[in-house]
Amino acid sequence: MKPIFAALLLSLFSSLAAADSTLLVEDAWVREAPPGARMLAAYMTLKNPTAQDLVLTGVDSPAFNHVMLHKSEVVDGVARMLHQDSILIPAGGNIELKPGSYHLMMPAPEQRLVEGDKVVFELNLEDQACVQVQAEVRKKP
């Protein structure tokens, strides 16, 4: 890629990440899934540097029909997934969306996503703010 394009892309991405909200999002990624997988998961770190709690109420994405907030947990040796209506990011705190815990769940699109592909998520907060974040498809546990 020519440097000028790289710079343009970079500025585009940082402006996406720095939308006019107070929620910071880091390290967003979607797990590459096998052929035939019907559901995908996405992960990221949500940071709230403000003095007020922030509440993530929903996520949209042009890449997926719908995006659900989920949490996996293992209780007495049994793994289960629980739908979350919202996720609270405490004032000054972080919430990590990570394997085996909070995550986004999306139906897999018709065109299979593979390592290196990029998708955009729009994170909707209770205070009407919307944060756009770009996530990369990665092949990892």
Partner 1 sequence: VLLAAVLLAGCNPPPPPQLSKATQLPSPKPVTDFRLIDHNSKPFTRERLQGTWTFVFFGYTHCPDVCPTSLTMLGQVQKTLEQSAPDELPQVLFISVDPERDSVEQLARFTPYFHPTFLGVTGEPDEIQRLSRQLGILYMRTEGESTDDYLVDHSAAIMLFDPDGRFHAVFSAPHEPESMASDYLAMKNWYEVK
Question: From the CB of 129, what's the least distance to partner 1, in Å?
Answer: 27
CB 40 → partner 1: shortest distance, Å?
Answer: 5
Residue of 1, 14, 74, 110 that binds partner 1 (CB under 8 A): 74
Residue whose CB is less far from partner 1, 47 or 70 = 70
Here the tokens at position 98 are 């990570």
The answer to the question of residue 100 lying near partner 1 (CB under 8 A) is yes
Binding residue for partner 1, selected from 1, 34, 62, 128, defined by CB under 8 A:
34
CB of 28 closer than 8 Å to CB of 121: yes
What's 21's DSSP letter?
S
Composition of the chain by helix, strand, coil, percent to 5: 10, 50, 40
Q: Give the closest residue to 102 by CA, choosing from 116, 115, 86.
A: 86
> Count residues contacting partner 1 (CB under 8 A)?
25
